[in-house]
Chains A and B, each alone.
Chain A
Amino acid sequence: MTSTTTDRQTNGSHREGAPTIDLDRVVVRFAGDSGDGMQLTGTRFTTVSALFGNDTATLPDFPAEIRAPAGTLAGVSAFQVQISDHDILTPGDAPNVLVAMNPAALKANIGTVARGGIVIVNNDAFDDRALEKAGYGSNPLLDGTLDGFRVYEVPMSSLTMEVCREAGVKPRDAERSKNFFALGLVSWLYSRPTESTIEWIAKRFADKPQVLDANTRAFRAGFHFGETAELFESNYQVHPATALPGTYTDVTGNTALSWGLIAAARQARLGLFLGSYPITPASDILHELSKHKNFGVRTFQAEDEIAGIGAALGAAFGGALGVTTTSGPGVDLKSETIGLAINLELPLVVVDIQRGGPSTGLPTKTEQSDLLHAMYGRHGEAPLPIVAPSTPSQCFEMAIEAARLALKYRTPVILLSDGYLANGSEPWRLPTLAELPDIHVEFATEANHSDPDGSSSFWPYQRDPVTLARPWALPGTPGLEHRIGGLEKADGTGNVSYDPVNHEKMVRIRASKIAGIAHDIPPVEVDDEHPGGSELLLVGWGSTYGAIAAGVRRVRKRGIHVAHAHLTHLNPFPANLGEVLASYRAVLVPEANTGQLVRLLRAEYLVEARSLTKIQGVPFHASEIEEAILDALGVTPQPGMELQSPVEEAS
């Protein structure tokens, strides 16, 4: 990618005699085999659109297998992106354009495409064998399957091989560049600037000159094909979105989270120690942080999940910002160490990039089903703070917030992200460094207790009266030598204690410490254009933000007043949440699980909250939220008010 500020480019993609039609938004879905480079193609299309100034939201959708059998439905990998000239919240419900590199990609994705949408197929790939592998009894390009779509058959494989042959690339290698042909074609179709992609190819494949050449040729050929072949009656442009002034970048959740951890360590003036074990979809955080050793980052790829968190906790004992990153199965294994950290009262950040469960479940698919696990997944009374970002870019901020709470309250904190946030991207208005919060905490340096004989000593469990946090005394500090451990502590001295009354006291102190954080987090904000007049409050958390907010916008366009509150702090809840819930007649809680937040809300506030759930490994569509709201309010859509409203998300 370019590392310099890119100007908004206009481009020369307009073809004489063919009109360029303005669109306010478009949803494109690239689909092919797992080895076809669809994620790369989609990411590149997103970046170029973001650099152009569009708002973007993405949904990578790929199988758990690295290379499932080629040409099968199991091996289809897709990348969906919505680009827009206005603020958007989701990657779109239904693609306007599907690029299908083979029959399996077509079959797996055609059901999602909007009626009347564009389908661009690589017809070279539609031979009998491929059709059979995809489970097509007859050729869908011929048998009427695609009636109602605007289908463009483009021989992408052969055209790519043709342009590459001139460069002396072997046909087999050349064929691999066909995704760049597709990127070129779609870039023309949506009037994307080409320069930055060509520069990017040059940089990315600098060490493989032949691949570089092939990809560049394929990309240009795709672009020129659109321009010159009189296949397409027009092309389109999506103008830049109006956004708040500032400097923007396009960022995925996992990258933002990694950078947030680096920022947190900087703002705390501590070294960052990451103990981690590879697991989908969290590994990218380990990869990203391991690149940045010059920020004082120590990354430790441990022998297992338990060692990952153990090492992070050991580093925290030594005065580092200790972090472990994982997904649900890893949290299972880390539970015992999280409990230890709760008892030791040491700061620790545990990042859970949730995926479909139980067990191995759906490694590459998103789900929000670890909330109750984060709340209760430990033996004994073991409360801890839980935070959850709502969007990819907010992962940055919430990583700092998790670290702030961990350091200030000397507690493990669980940050719940998910596969959708982790891999999805959006434009992010960069904060200035001066805007970042100072989360520095002091280490203990001297004795804190006067003994009856007049001497002074260090009590490792003597607490701060406000936060109830215990002192953090680092090994190496003379005079503060102390022992901590998993056995119950005597209040104050921290010595091992089996005293029954002390145990109850300590359980309650630890709980109070976490509960008290409610007063140290922002009150929940409600998006309500008619306070007092809204009939329904939607409460969400995490990655459902975009779909809920988009669904709310749709309903509001119908003149119906609804409100939306989105929680970033799940434990404790914001201090005003009970009051907010009580001020609405009805509460609806959409979640990508069987209803976990709704249970917590009901239990905590005795509210009659309703649950809306989806457990399919994919995010909610805005239309599903819209439908649920209308249903909850007993509104029947009138003719002309069909659910797929044309300007679905314009605010």
Chain B
Amino acid sequence: MTDTIVPQTTRKDWTSDQEVRWCPGCGDYSILAAVQMLLPELGVRRESTVFVSGIGCAARFPYYMNTYGMHSIHGRAPAIATGLAVSRPDLDVWVVSGDGDALSIGGNHLIHALRRNVNLTILLFNNQIYGLTKGQYSPTSEQGKVTKSTPFGSLETPFNPVSLALGAEATFVARTHDMDRKHMMETFRRAHFHRGAALVEIYQNCNVFNDGAFEAITGKDARAEKLIPLVDGEPIRFGAEGEHGVMLDADGRLRLVEVSDVGVESLLVHDEAREDPGLAFQLSRLARGPFEPTPIGVFRAVERPEYGDAMTAQMARAEEAKGVGDLGALLRSGGTWTVEA
């Protein structure tokens, strides 16, 4: 039997003996560090923690965690993790994915895991490029992006992962970035404690194939002016002195304003538990890309029955109504006849 008291652990306990093989300078290192530093604080056990990934650079993540893990196939991690999470509600299941893995080849599984509200913490490393296959455009690459497979520029409109998740009925959607460990840890912590599917988009730098994609908003000098921290129950404001803000116009549109012009009482107060996802959706689309002021933090956190819990409850009700399954009776349920010896 396991102890009821979770042993104290340190980052080292959560680090596997495998050599980390991402490119030097990759944003994935700081995400790995944030997760490894957070887990000792969560009061969870290594043996009850599982990381499931698909394919891509981010998908190597489970190998570096001293937990249970599965590095599966391209795009399928949410589906595999769904089977694990619903049949083992005692486990803490994390999905690590990238923009190609989660939004291109695995788009279908992602939206359905979110809609079902399976108890998964999904970390979506968004670097807006295919790294492992060496530099093709991804479903989050901006239109016009010149890559190996789009020498004349991408023709495609990118996905906005937060908008997509909100549209897929997600109950928890957040965004963070690889340059701010504290913000990542706080966001991951919230996602972990959310019962149901939690999606965290992480702006992550690929210093080899798409270096500086988020530099304009996540760079140390840019953050104050370009990142809009969402704080539940607080007016949405940003800038070094909180001098800018977000206001809901009479025509229903969000607008960036100067607090000095409109007064703090006119700013939109962030309500992550708001039933209607409309405002969260608008917030997710405030910036046209990672060059304009961009909200980060928790967009939406609402409660809805978790899928595995609901399935377990249905099984319990069936057992209550019909009794524990009796195989002998089942085999006879279609009517029988007897041939005497």
Q: Which A residues form the contact surface with B (CB < 8 A)?
A: 1-6, 8, 47, 50-53, 196, 242-251, 255, 259, 262-263, 266, 271, 273, 275, 292-298, 300, 302-304, 306-307, 310-320, 322, 336-337, 340, 344, 430-431, 433, 475-487, 495-496
A6 in contact with B70 (CB, 8 Å): no
The answer for the CA separation of A344 and B321 in the assembled complex, in Å, is 38
Report Cα–Cα, A280/B67, bound state, in Å: 40
Cβ–Cβ contact B319 & A293, under 8 A: yes
State whether B336 touches A262 (Cβ < 8 A): no
| Nearest Cβ on chain A to B341's Cβ, whole angstroms | 4
Cβ B311 vs Cβ A481 within 8 A = no
Q: Decide if A479 touches B335 in the complex (CB within 8 Å).
A: no
A47 in contact with B335 (CB, 8 Å) = yes
Q: Give complex CA distance A144, B335 in Å.
A: 44
What 0/1 readout, one digit per residue, does chain B (114-157) give for beta carbons within 8 Å of chain A? 00000000000000000000000000000000000000000000
Verify A3–B50 contact, CB threshold 8 A. Answer: no
In chain B, what residue has the closest Cβ to A250?
A: B334
- B288-336 contacts to A (CB < 8 Å): 311, 314-315, 318-319, 321-325, 327-328, 330-336
A475 in contact with B84 (CB, 8 Å): yes
Q: Across the interface, do A249 and B331 meet the contact criterion of CB distance under 8 Å?
A: yes
How far, in whole Å, are A309 and B179 apart by their CA atoms in the complex? 37
Provide the B87-112 mask, 1 if CB < 8 A to any CB of A, else 0: 11011000000000000000011011
A306 with B322: in contact, given A8-B337, A247-B337, A477-B47 (CB under 8 Å)? no
Residue of B nearest to A258 (CB): B330
Q: Contact partner of B325 among A296, A319, A322, A477, CB < 8 A?
A: A296
- Are B340 and A6 in contact, CB atoms less than 8 angstroms apart? no
Known: A244-B339, A296-B325. 15 other contacts (CB 8 A): A6-B335, A6-B336, A246-B339, A248-B336, A251-B334, A271-B87, A293-B314, A298-B311, A300-B83, A307-B79, A311-B79, A314-B79, A314-B82, A320-B83, A481-B46
Interface assignment of B193: CB less than 8 Å from any CB of chain A: no
0 or 1 for each of B55-68: is its CB under 8 Å from A? (1 = yes)? 10000001101111
Beta-carbon contact of B337 and A478 below 8 Å: no
Contacts of A486 in B (CB 8 A): 55, 71-73
Q: How far is the CA of A249 from the CA of B332 in the complex (A)?
A: 7
Asked if B47 contacts A273 (CB within 8 A), the reply is no
* Majority-rule SS of A interface residues: mixed
B322 closest partner in A (C-beta): A294
In the bound complex, how far is the Cα of B174 from the Cα of A369, in angstroms?
49
B18 near A: Cβ within 8 Å?
Answer: yes
Which residue from chain A places its CB closest to the CB of B85 in the assembled complex?
Answer: A314
7 A-B pairs with CB atoms under 8 Å apart are A246-B339, A249-B337, A294-B319, A296-B325, A302-B112, A303-B108, A307-B79
**Given A5-B336, A313-B83, A318-B83, are A344 and B325 neighbors across the interface (CB < 8 Å)?**
no
B338 at the interface (CB under 8 A from A): yes
B235 at the interface (CB under 8 A from A): no
| B91 and A478 contacting across the interface, CB-CB below 8 Å | no
Contacts of B239 in A (CB 8 A): none
How far in angstroms is the closest Cβ of chain B from A483?
4
B residues near A50, Cβ cutoff 8 Å: 337
**Residue contact B67 to A481, C-beta cutoff 8 Å:** yes
Q: With A259-B330, A262-B327, A484-B69 in contact, do A310 and B47 touch (Cβ < 8 Å)? A: no
Does B256 reach chain A (CB closer than 8 Å)?
no
> CB-CB contacts of B1-23 with A at 8 A, as 1s and 0s?
01000000000000010100000
Closest to B321 in A: A294
Residue pair A294, B318 in contact (C-beta under 8 Å) = yes
Question: Does B80 touch A at the CB level, under 8 Å?
Answer: yes
Which one, A295, A302, A313, A485, contacts B62 given CB within 8 A? A485
Question: Does B45 interact with chain A (Cβ within 8 Å)?
Answer: yes
Residue of B nearest to A479 (CB): B47
Tell me the smallest distance from the CB of B47 to a CB of chain A, in Å: 4
B95 CB to closest chain A CB (Å) equals 11
Most chain B beta carbons < 10 A, residue from A5, A303, A319: A303
Q: Is the CB of B76 within 8 A of A310?
A: yes
Residue of B nearest to A309 (CB): B79
B76 touches A307 (CB 8 A): yes
A117 to chain B, nearest CB (A): 29
Partner of B73, one of A248, A340, A482: A340
